[in-house]
């Protein structure tokens, strides 16, 4: 559940290896941070929305959740969600 006035980022991926939650959350945060490189003009596009949610100046709190599911063929499906308060 997103806090009132807040935002949420969701990252999903499938990998052939099992990784701990702190590593997967770091990967998700890095992916969202890299969105700044997608900027092509003065305006923010939907391609940068996860980055904007993380960097919004009124955001003071964040909470992240991690879920790993075993997929077929030795793959692991990961979902990371982080909620920001503003």
Q: Is residue 54 part of a domain?
A: yes
pLDDT tens for each residue of 42-72: 666 677 888 888 888 888 889 999 999 987 8
Question: Does 40 fall in a domain?
Answer: no
Give the structural domain span for 59: 7-35+48-84
- Does 73 map to a domain? yes
Indicate the pTM of the whole model: 0.82
| Secondary structure element (H or E) that encloses residue 29, with its range | helix 21-33
Q: What is the pLDDT of residues 18-46, one digit of tens each?
A: 999 999 999 999 999 888 887 666 666 67
Q: Give strand ranges (E) for 1-86.
A: 7-15, 62-70, 76-84
In a domain, 26, yes or no: yes
Q: What is the total count of domains within the chain?
A: 1
Q: What is the pLDDT of residue 41?
A: 66
Q: Does some domain include residue 1?
A: no
**φ, ψ (nearest 5 deg) of residue 19:** -125, 150
């Amino acid at each position: 559940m997103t806090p009132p006035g807040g935002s949420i980022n969701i990252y999903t991926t499938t990998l052939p290896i099992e990784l701990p939650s702190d590593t997967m959350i770091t990967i998700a945060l890095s992916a969202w941070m890299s969105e700044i490189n997608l900027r092509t003009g003065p305006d923010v596009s939907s391609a940068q929305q996860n980055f904007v949610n993380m960097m919004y100046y009124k955001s003071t709190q964040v909470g992240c959740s991690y879920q790993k599911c075993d997929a077929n063929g030795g793959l692991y499906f990961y979902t990371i969600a982080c909620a920001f308060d503003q």
